[in-house]
Structure 1
Amino acid sequence: MSIDVITRYFAAFNAGDVDGMLAELSDDIAHHVNEGNVRHGKELFRAFCDHMNESYRENLTDIVAFATPDGTRGAAEFTVNGTYLKTDEGLPEAKGQTYVLPAGSFFTLKDGKICRVTTYYNLADWVRQVS
């Protein structure tokens, strides 16, 4: 069931388990990054996760997952509770600032795997919170 895939994906995220997240993705995953480029494939997804884990510590709460009846699309709404650990290029200086952001992810699913994930949050709100 598609909600189970989404739930496992976010449980792995919250556990800091990149391999667990990758297990829920198709090999040809299309990762649409908020305010960024589309990354294709698990290797680029892992590199993104490694970078994020170096610069940010995040925990997602209030997760509510949705799925279409045919199981081909899903979404989740959640709150990002984070700490900015290391300055990310082009962003304000990191000093251990904390932030809380509403966010959402959208998924395309095929053969029991996530083949597209698109995540959105308000970058201007994040910048305001860490500045």
Structure 2
Amino acid sequence: MRAPVEQYFAALNADAYDDLAAVFTDDVEIHTVGAKPVVGRAAVLAHFPRVLAGYAEHCDRVTRWIETPEAIVTEIEFTGRLGDGRPVVFPALDVFDLRADRITRVTTWYDTRDVRRQVLA
């Protein structure tokens, strides 16, 4: 059950965005606090490079896994460095809905005010 989520984080952390195609269903949805949903595999695959473009480096480290038959919840520690060298660090929570060993939905929560403060400082 954990394999597609582990592959998701490995691909994101390596900037291997093409590898994400294998873990998503065609109708995958990404829901992030404060943002409009991103729907469909093609839109989702274009989404991540845009979101992470400003980071010279970034890493989502899972610090806790909670697993059910239909979903996985992960607590994340995001660490990154912007293009100008400033660090960005924040906790997040991701919920992954799964169907047939593929991710159908990712819902992400984090403190948007804190992240905005770090990025726009």
TM-score (structure 1 length as normaliser): 0.82
* Matches of 1:62 and 1:107, distance apart in 2: 13
CA contact (8 A) 1:81 1:100 kept: yes
Aligned to 1:64: 64
CA contact (8 A) 2:20 2:45 kept: no
Q: What one-letter code is carried by the residue in structure 2 that aligns with 1:111?
A: A
Matched residue count: 119
Structure 2 gaps of 5+ residues are none
> Where does structure 1 differ by over 6 angstroms across 4 or more consecutive aligned residues?
none
Aligned to 1:23: 22
What is the RMSD of the two structures over their aligned residues, measured on CA atoms? 1.6
Aligned to 1:103: 92
Q: Quick check: 1:75 aligned with 2:73?
A: yes
Find the partner of 1:119 among 103, 108, 112.
108
User: CA, structure 1 residues 44+102, in 2 after alignment: closer, same or farther (shift >3 Å)?
Assistant: same
TM-score (structure 2 length as normaliser): 0.88
The structure with more strand, counted as a fraction of residues: 2
User: CA, structure 1 residues 31+62, in 2 after alignment: closer, same or farther (shift >3 Å)?
Assistant: closer
Structure 1 gaps of 5+ residues are 86-94
**Corresponding residue SS for 2:103:** strand
User: CA, structure 1 residues 4+126, in 2 after alignment: closer, same or farther (shift >3 Å)?
Assistant: same
Aligned to 2:45: 46
* CA deviation vs aligned residue, 1:10-53 (integer Å, no higher than 9, x gap): 11111111122221110100111231011110111112112123
Q: What one-letter code is carried by the residue in structure 1 that aligns with 2:117?
A: R
